[in-house]
Amino acid sequence: MKHPILLLVLCVTGALAQAAKVELDPSHWGHPEGENCVSCHAKASPGLAEQWRESAHQRAGVNCLDCHQADSADVDAITHEGQVIATIVSPKDCGRCHQQEFEEQAGSVHAEAHAIISERVPALAHNLTGAAMQAAGCDQCHGSRVKVRGDGSLDPTTWPNSGIGRINPDGSKGSCSSCHGRHAFSKAQAREPDACVRCHSGPDSPDKEVFEASKHGMIYKANREAMNLDADTWIAGQDYKAAPTCVTCHMGGAGKIPSTHDVGLRNAWSLNTPVSARQYLVVLESGEKLELPADQKPPKRGSELTKADGGTGKVKMVVGPDRRRQIMSMVCLECHGKTFTASFMDQFDAVVQLYNGKFGEPAAAIMKGLYEQGLLTPLPFDEPLEFIYWELWHDEGARARHGAAMMSPNHAWWEGMYLVGRNFYSRFLPEARAVAGGAAAELVDSVLARSDHHRWQSSPDAANPILGWSPPPRLEPDTSELEESADPSGQSPRAGAEAQAVAPMTEAVPVSPASEGRGDD
């Protein structure tokens, strides 16, 4: 077993060549009563049984009861055909054999997926639609808090669920089957991009679309058969080299970097927030992790911090965003050169900073001012401007930033920053000015005036070839009437002036003997 903190250090120093192979202890499995489970379920649910028969678990001798057996004191324990079992196999249960993976997953952002949105979901899923939508939508990705009824059965409003941050009856967080799929538990399945896109698709996390439109996605599609997805180890550059997948960049082993089930370990930026921030990774003594904006002073070792779920933890280690970026870049270096990798990261950073400075920060400041002045109610989504603002950063802004992060030009621009700009100038600002009313100059325009990003709007008469229309050229004043009446001799003033201007050209010019005939004047 390796500790996540040690893992981070080793990633950078290069002291570890690859992830330690999972150590399995046969004393954990092979329950003799498990054969009875297989015998019944082969008739009652043959598809389930067949998935298991084709799995690595079956080949290793791991049966149904090895995973589902429970203690009678467990809150979700039930008696089934004479055996005490639990319907849910939690990460804690999987950790009886896969301890390393359990510890890495328990400290990951995936494990906090439910806690991160638990306070925010009602405003969307309940107010705009209804509670049933949370179970069928949000909870299927973020995870539900599974409730157990008095008879030990699972509350159908919270189960079935395989959300990545599910709160299990035993208190553990997450669901291994979210990626590995019960009951086959395939490694190859989890290494496929499709394992991620069930949740990482759509407005706020458009990674499916971005990956498929990227060069990486195109190469993967053309070379999937060369990806060695079933291999025992899966180290980029060693076990495969055709293309990367989501796992390659965010979890996979590469060169001296070990693999990990802590999926957010390598992310230097937050990309799904109104304003992106470079982030510290704070490792707590419990092994859990937090992310804090890098513009804040890093917490001291031993200090207490509030976690995403409201609990507290003591700081054991802080990893800066530069080190996180370094680790991600080392993955890139398996297939790209140093200059290529560094330049790509610079381009990505520049897009995020552009989004922040031009749209994210001004929009957030305008919204803050409107709330503080009581011009917007605190209740979310009861006013049109709140929808416009939400879509600006949550949908379009996320697409722009993810597109830049994963090399999809279409999503960085047409599906991303172009829509951000269109929304900001044609919907957000007009609506914000309408809401601000007489205070628009103070609450809206003064915010825009703080940077040069919006000065292009101060030239409304600029040429406009892109839309097929330009202002007509300015005409000289019509002086014909003045010309007709100004000179009693019949010669107009303009004609006179032209005559004076031309006169010197018609006068004889003295020619010196030296220049005469050379024609070089």
Give the model's confidence band at 495: pLDDT under 50 very low, under 70 low, under 90 confident, else very high: very low
Distance in angstroms (rounded) separating the CA atoms of residues 252 and 162: 22
Cβ(100)–Cβ(32) below 8 Å: no
Q: What is the DSSP string of 392-407?
A: IIIIIIHHHHHHHHTT
Measure the CA dihedral 324/193/253/239, to 10°. Answer: -150
pLDDT score recorded for residue 487: 53
Question: Which string of DSSP letters, residue by residue, matches 463-510?
Answer: --GGGT--PPPPPPP--HHHHHHH-TTS--HHHHHHHHHHHHHHS---
Q: Residue 14: is its pLDDT beyond 90?
A: no
Average confidence (pLDDT) over 71-93: 94
Report pLDDT digits (tens) over 500-513.
433 333 333 343 43
* C-alpha–C-alpha distance, residues 272 and 395, integer Å: 9
Residue 498 reports pLDDT greater than 50: no
Is 273 in contact with 205 (CB distance < 8 Å)? no
* Out of 32-41, 66-75, 352-361, 496-505, least confident range: 496-505
Please state the pTM of the whole predicted model.
Answer: 0.84
The 3-state secondary structure of 313-345 reads EEEEEEECHHHHHHHHHHHHCCCCCHHHHHHHH
Token pair for 184: 């086959």
Residues 292 and 270: beta-carbon distance below 8 Å: no
What does the longest C-alpha to C-alpha distance in the chain come to? 129
Predicted confidence (pLDDT) at residue 479 exceeds the cutoff of 50: yes
* Percent of the chain at pLDDT exceeding 70: 87
Q: What is the mean pLDDT of residues 328-337?
A: 96
- H-run or E-run covering 308: none
312-319/304-306 β-pairing: antiparallel
Contact 404, 414 (CB under 8 A): no
What percent of the chain stands above pLDDT 90?
74
The predicted pLDDT at position 25 comes to 67
Q: How confident is the model at residue 465 (pLDDT cuts 50, 70, 90)?
A: confident
Look at the block and give the residue holding tokens 């140093």.
Answer: 338
Structure tokens at 408: 């999809």
pLDDT by residue (tens digit) across 148-183?
998 889 999 999 999 999 999 999 999 999 999 999
Cβ 197 vs Cβ 175: under 8 Å: no
494 vs 186, which has greater pLDDT?
186
